[in-house]
Each structure stands twice: as structure tokens, then as C-alpha cells.
Amino acid sequence: MNKPTIVESGIVDVACGTNVRIVMPVNVYGCTLGDDCFVGPFVEIQKGASIGSRTRVQSHAFVCELVTIGEDCVVSHGAKFINDRFDEGGPAHGDKSKWKATIVGNNVSIGTNATILPVTICDNVVIGAGAVVTKDILVPGIYAGNPARLLRKL
């Protein structure tokens, strides 16, 4: 019988501002966390991701490479970011040149179980629970649905 390879999760090579709180267990590595950030349990934040000051990343969220999140944001429970759009009908299989970046502005709230594809989201936006953001959001407002649509301007 073969034995599995065990890889420990944890906090490795993270550039942290002041007063950052991280609740274990997490897998947070090679990223940047601004002042007063909070990272809940069972979160993964991958290398190169950047989380702005006073932003909360709640439990079970996934923030992949090439994601930048602004200040004063909330990434709610189970929210996921995607950097591979499967543009050629399948995964990039490690070819990072096919990945795309996501930029989230300041004062953005992303609801529980929302999925954010590689897009730009402006400041002052609310993304509803379960929404799937497939296109850039350039107008402050409340967005929900699959695909996410503007419900009301803020």
C-alpha cells in the first residue's frame, strides 16, 4: 500500500501590515495583507495576491494568484476567485500566461459563495450571495445573479 505525500498548510512568506489577525487553519502564502486585515479559518490566499487594509476575508474563501483586493472590503464565506477562464475549452494546465488578473476596488462587499472571474470591480460595490461576476463592474451599485447584473446604483 502506498503512503500519501503530506503537505502542511499554514502561513508562509506573508508580508503583513500592523494588527493583522489570522484564524488557523489557513493556507496563506506569498501574499500581502494590509493593516488591520482579518483572515478567517479555512481560507487560502495564494502567492502574489494582495489584500488591502481593513479588509476581511471570511471562512472558506479562496483568493488565487493575480487577485488584488482594495481597502475596507469584505470577502464573505465561501467566496471564490478564478484566474483561469478555460478560454481554450479546458484548464491552462500550469501555463500561467493564460491566467488573467482580478482587481477589486475599495469598499466592495462580496457575498457568500460568490464567484469572481478575472474582472475589474470599481469602488463601492455590493456583490450578492451566490453571484457569478463574469464581466467588469464599472458603476457603483448592487449586483446579483448568474451572471451578475446591476440591481440598483449606489
Residue positions annotated with a catalytic role: 60
Distance CA 117, CA 125 (A): 16
CA 147 and chain centroid, separation:
18
Contact (Cβ atoms closer than 8 angstroms) between residue 58 and residue 40: yes
Residues 6+ apart with CB under 8 A from 63: 31, 43, 44, 45, 46, 49, 51, 57, 69, 75, 81
- Number of Cβ within 10 Å of residue 141's Cβ equals 16
